[in-house]
Amino acid sequence: MTSPRQALPIAVLISGRGSNLQAIIDAVARGELAADIRLVLSNRAGAQGLERARAAGIATAVIESAGHGDRAAYDRALRESSCWPASCACSPRSSCATTKGA
């Protein structure tokens, strides 16, 4: 007999509608994906996917890509951000400054 897979804590990065996020949320709900979505992070405050996350009760954060000069600088800002939950498998930091969804 096989034991159930332990859910892997993950973060999902989005920039728009969040259709891929919704597919992940649905797969988790159906038991097809052993994941626990701890954070949805967007580079755009107005991204519709943030509302999808909030509706599902998932913490959200925004780190605007504008003003970072280039992609490497933005990637660095992502890595150095305090928005990563300590319990997230992909967490490069140990603090969390996110907004929990309703």
For the chain, which residues make up each domain, given as ranges? 8-80
pTM, to two decimals: 0.75
**Which of 102, 74, 96, 81 shows the shortest CA–CA distance to 9?**
96
Q: How far is CA 28 from CA 7, 43, 92, in A?
A: 9, 24, 24
Under the banding of pLDDT at 50, 70 and 90, the label for residue 88 is: low
d(C-alpha 49, C-alpha 25), whole Å:
11
**DSSP letter at 13?**
E
d(C-alpha 63, C-alpha 74), whole Å:
9
CATH class for the domain made up of 8-80: alpha beta
Under the banding of pLDDT at 50, 70 and 90, the label for residue 18 is: very high
